[in-house]
Amino acid sequence: MAVIEVNGTQVPITGGRTVLDTMIVAGYAPDAFLYMVEGRPVPSDSVFVGDETVRAIKVASGG
């Protein structure tokens, strides 16, 4: 099962959900993260059905 690793916590990606949908259901603000698989960025509308681990990296912004 694919998971999103957020701050050391693993959130399972279930039911063919996108990374974006999974983050929303888990209570995270998806726009506050970059998503990486094996060191490469992936879009938040990606769907994973294998055993991938998606790392969610918190981004900082400000003005």
Q: Which domains does the chain have, with CATH numbers?
A: 3-58 (3.10.20.90)
pLDDT digits (tens, 9 = 90+) for 10-45: 999 998 899 999 999 999 999 999 999 999 999 999
Amino acid 57: pLDDT: 97
Amino acid 61: pLDDT: 77
pLDDT (mean) for 1-8? 95
Amino acid 20: pLDDT: 97
Rounded Cα gap, residues 13 and 63, in angstroms? 33
pLDDT score of 63 more than 70: no
Amino acid 62: pLDDT: 76
